[in-house]
Amino acid sequence: MRNGKTRVLLVYPEIPRSFWDFKAAIRILGLDSTMPPLGLATIAAMLPQEYFEMRPIIDLNFRTLKDSDILWADVVMISAMLVQSESVRQIIEHTKRLHKTTIVGGPFPTSYRDEVLAMGADILILGEAEITLRPFIEDWICRREQRVYDEATLRSRSSVELNAEGKPAITTTPIPLWHLLEMGRYSSMAVQFSRGCPFDCEFCDIVNLFGHAPRVKTSAQMIAEIESIRVTGWRGSIFIVDDNFIGNRKGVQLFLIELLKWQESHGFPFSFFTEASINLANDDMKEILDLMVRAGFEEVFIGIESNNPEVLARMGKRQNKGDLSEKVASIQRAGLNVTAGFIIGADGDSATAFPAMFSFIQDNGIVFAMLGLMTAIRGTRLYTRLKEEGRLRYESSGNNTHQFKLNFDPTMNESALIKGYVRLLSELYSREHYYDRCRTLQKRLGHGTKRASQINWRYARAMLRVLYYNLIECPDWEFVRFIVMTVCTHPNKFPEAISEAAKFRHLREITETTVANYHLENWLQNE
């Protein structure tokens, strides 16, 4: 048995500059990051306090990891996604120099265990912690810890109910330890309602990680988790991080009914956004869509990927059927802003994909379109197929947006594909086209639930900064035209217009920077 408590330092790796970090936008708000490391805060709640001692989580997206932090600890625990792999390597190297034990978990080591072990990690806790964390705790306390803890070998030791796929119920997952987070540094909070997705898109690794059957928390669990955020005093937007929020229709409906009651009884302290499949627009989902809007949801991310039915069929995107434009419009009219993911370079794509995708995004007012090159990630059916076909080149970095290299041999001419993608990005995030989409969305977007005003000193400061930047520092006629038209035609949507302008600063910066680098590299190669 170990004597005394094990001192655990929880570290969240840095996420490289990307489409989704919105750093230029959130800094206008005086904040540092978009979302907290929900996984680490939840893991912290699963570590028994009688055996483990923890300090606040170090988020490397705005903090630095000091020698003194590591020297305090007995072990350093890291949770990471693939896109954070380089930061993970640096943390492990730093920790090993100071002769401390490094424990790594999360999606990245679950899919890339050999690579993380090669980095020098001492212990891997893979898969879902409801299965693998408790055996590690038992072994650690008794000084018999193993190097790798994975679901396949530990299901017999699981203390939670498992479904037919061997995946754990999440009805006993504890409330994250919010006090270990610097909550005031984030633009939104995060909670999780479900894991798993009923669909099987060829390029997605979710079903490999979490299975097909969506497992949900109870409504009481979710309300308790949201209430635990409210009592901290934090207010704003909460991201429900599910990969498909509506995967378990019965469960989500019961939760939304209770969430609506809770929001009404507390004066709507929060707004919500999430990810869902486009069948949210189907007739049999109307009640759920209505409940989402009434309960305070304002935005939903949908994987549209392509508007070509043949390409969608090859992707296994069977849920994306029918008139996709009408489905997007129906969700918008109901009161939800649709952000969406699109993929270029899938098998079956041709030169016609670029103008077709541009028109679809513009015509449907999809302001924030995450447009990426197809990427083959380990653990997906696409990865397996391309490897078998001899078309796989190297492992993905996990970031497919605003990146101009493919990790596989495409069916389309590669040079034309990359050039078309660069041109499409530039067009989508030009000032004229961006604000055109904003205007289209204003006309379409239905009225959501009226809730307590979120306009405060932080918003007022952000508004002044946005106005100063676009009117004085970098005068932008398209911004002026958009704001004037908003005031004249949709004055109730002025706060959203300011937010869209703030986000555009980030989107334009990252697009201009990456496109300029692409052209520079091409010029240097041709010299």
Per mean pLDDT, which range of 25-29, 72-76, 449-453 is the poorest? 449-453
Summarised one tens digit per residue, pLDDT across range 324-342 is 999 999 999 999 999 999 9
pLDDT confidence of residue 418: 96
Segment 250-261 mean pLDDT: 98
Q: Are 235 and 265 in contact (CB under 8 A)?
A: no
* Bridge pairing between strands 194-195 and 215-216: antiparallel
Q: What percent of the chain has pLDDT over 70?
A: 98
Q: pTM for the whole thing?
A: 0.94
- CATH fold group of domain 187-444: TIM Barrel (3.20.20)
pLDDT confidence of residue 451: 53
Segment 181-188 mean pLDDT: 95
CATH code of the domain made up of 6-157: 3.40.50.280
Q: For residue 452, what pLDDT band results from cuts at 50, 70 and 90?
A: very low
CA 39-265-171 angle, 5° bins: 35
Assess whether the region 6-157 and the region 187-444 belong to the same CATH fold.
no
Summarised one tens digit per residue, pLDDT across range 284-303 is 999 999 999 999 999 999 99
Q: For residue 120, what pLDDT band results from cuts at 50, 70 and 90?
A: very high
pLDDT confidence of residue 456: 64
Segment 187-195 mean pLDDT: 97
Taking the C-alpha atoms of residue 410 and residue 488, their distance in angstroms, rounded to an integer, is: 48
Other beta carbons within 10 Å of 85 = 21
Other beta carbons within 10 Å of 69 = 18
Segment 341-364 mean pLDDT: 96
**Eight-class DSSP state of 15:** P
Taking the C-alpha atoms of residue 364 and residue 440, their distance in angstroms, rounded to an integer, is: 7
Q: What is the mean pLDDT of the chain?
A: 94
Q: What percent of the chain has pLDDT over 90?
A: 86
Segment 154-179 mean pLDDT: 93
Summarised one tens digit per residue, pLDDT across range 460-519 is 888 898 998 899 988 999 999 999 999 999 999 999 999 999 999 999 999 999 999 888
Q: Which sequence spans correspond to the domains of the chain?
A: 6-157, 187-444, 457-526
Record the tokens describing residue 325, joined without a space: 């434009």
